[in-house]
Amino acid sequence: MKIGVPRETRPGEARVAATPEIVKRLIGKGFQVMVEAGAGTAAAYPDADYAAAGAQLGERAAAYDADILLKVRRPDADDVAAMRPGGLYIGLMESCGEDALYDAMQAKGLRVLGMERIPRISRAQSMDALSSQSNIAGYRAVLEAAARYGRFFPMMMTSAGSAKPARLVVLGAGVAGLQAIATARRLGAEVWGYDVRPETREQIVSLGAKPIDLDIGESGAGEGGYAKELSAEAKARQQAALADELAKAHIIVTTALIPCRPAPVLITEAVVQRMRPGSVIVDLAAANGGNCPLTVPDQVVERHGVTLVGYTNYPSMVAADASAFYAKNIANLLDIMIDKSDAGPVLKDLEQDEITKAMLVRP
């Protein structure tokens, strides 16, 4: 059975779906692995390392002519045209609702496993790509804030005087938010955390941050550990109650997202106007409209003396480790999908396992 690993072509994407370490592991299980030449270069994995791991290196068409195609980002029409009919695609589909691209994949007889569809159950934790990449995003977002903020994060005492620690607020205590809290604490900031899900309060406190407790009249806890969309009344109460806390912040890292919905507005322009000049907002929800309406996707802008960072792909900024994590997620997934035989690996019925069944993208 042949696995193909093409180079990612989306602008700004440096990750690769399989590292040399994982290629060696897959070959040891009986797979043939074809890697497009240069696929890992941007993530600091040279072709020589793939060759040493046993991979075949070739042109893009050879990587796409595979039984199983591994990718990081959503394919485009050219990708679909190059895939082997009847093959299996594993990667992020990044779609909600109707999807013309998936229709084209189905018409070609392709089966599609969306990595963002992995269920949040204990068995699937080692395969959860959203969590592994969100962890990296939370870490890298705080480093971005530290680089953009013109003052110290920790309290600094020197013979020339002292500086107070930065006041940093993290909005959203999911995987990215909790990692942002932990990273900011390690850098010495005074950290506050807020989430609409009451159960996250204990996690915020456990990382050494102070919780922001608001009474907005309803819980934001949704299914599968995700937040749900609040009512219009609760949103208004939330914005009003948060305003004073956010206006005092020197740095705000926002991570609040609702699956397949626009990002909730948590930082209004009026709040930005009240923040101290030189403050920084890093908006991890920029790709979904932003938690602040002033954020511009993939740009850094200044509004009312506040720097707003709208980058949408933080894992790609840490491409080597992000690729390693993602590749391990996929390798762990393949472990439950394959039976061994004398003739080599055999694909199991994807409908028979709760994980792969949940991942299957259907019409």
Pick the CATH number of 149-313 from 3.40.1280.10, 3.40.50.970, 3.40.50.300, 3.40.50.720: 3.40.50.720
141, 282 in Cβ contact below 8 A? Answer: yes
**Does the pLDDT of residue 363 top 70, yes or no?**
no
Question: Residue 284 gets which letter from DSSP?
Answer: T
pTM beyond 0.85: yes
Catalytic amino acids? 120, 125, 128, 131, 226
Residues 6+ apart with CB under 8 A from 107: none
CA distance 196 to 192: 14
pLDDT tens for residues 99-139? 899 999 999 999 999 999 999 999 999 999 999 999 999 99
Task: Tell me what the mean pLDDT of segment 272-284 comes to.
Answer: 97
Residues 6+ apart with CB under 8 A from 191: 168, 169, 170, 181, 184, 185, 207, 208, 209, 210
Confidence of residue 236 (pLDDT cuts 50, 70, 90): confident
Confidence of residue 343 (pLDDT cuts 50, 70, 90): confident
| Domain boundaries, given as residue ranges, for the chain | 2-128+319-359, 149-313
2-128+319-359 has which fold?
Rossmann fold (3.40.50)
What is the DSSP annotation of 10-70?
Answer: STT----S--HHHHHHHHHTT-EEEEETTTTGGGT--HHHHHHHT-EEE-HHHHHSSSEEE
Question: What pLDDT does 157 receive?
Answer: 84
Question: What pLDDT does 142 receive?
Answer: 98
Task: Tell me what the mean pLDDT of segment 80-84 comes to.
Answer: 95
CA distance 67 to 256: 37
Question: What pLDDT does 223 receive?
Answer: 62
Question: What pLDDT does 197 receive?
Answer: 86
Nearest 10 degrees: CA dihedral of 11, 280, 225, 115?
10
Question: What pLDDT does 259 receive?
Answer: 80
**Does the pLDDT of residue 317 top 80, yes or no?**
yes
pLDDT tens for residues 143-186? 999 999 999 999 888 878 888 899 999 999 999 999 999 999 99
Q: Could you give the C-alpha distances from 239 to 139, 179, 193, in angstroms and in order?
A: 26, 24, 15
Question: What pLDDT does 230 receive?
Answer: 75
Question: What pLDDT does 237 receive?
Answer: 82
Question: What pLDDT does 222 receive?
Answer: 60
Express as a percent the part of the chain with pLDDT over 70. Answer: 97
Confidence of residue 19 (pLDDT cuts 50, 70, 90): very high
Task: Tell me what the mean pLDDT of segment 10-31 comes to.
Answer: 97
Task: Tell me what the mean pLDDT of segment 287-311 comes to.
Answer: 97
Express as a percent the part of the chain with pLDDT over 90. Answer: 81
**Does the pLDDT of residue 228 top 70, yes or no?**
no
**Does the pLDDT of residue 229 top 80, yes or no?**
no
Question: Residue 123 gets which letter from DSSP?
Answer: G
**Beta strand ranges found along 184-295 (DSSP E):** 190-194, 210-211, 251-254, 280-283
Confidence of residue 44 (pLDDT cuts 50, 70, 90): very high
Do the domains 2-128+319-359 and 149-313 sit in the same CATH topology, yes or no?
yes
Task: Tell me what the mean pLDDT of segment 229-233 comes to.
Answer: 77
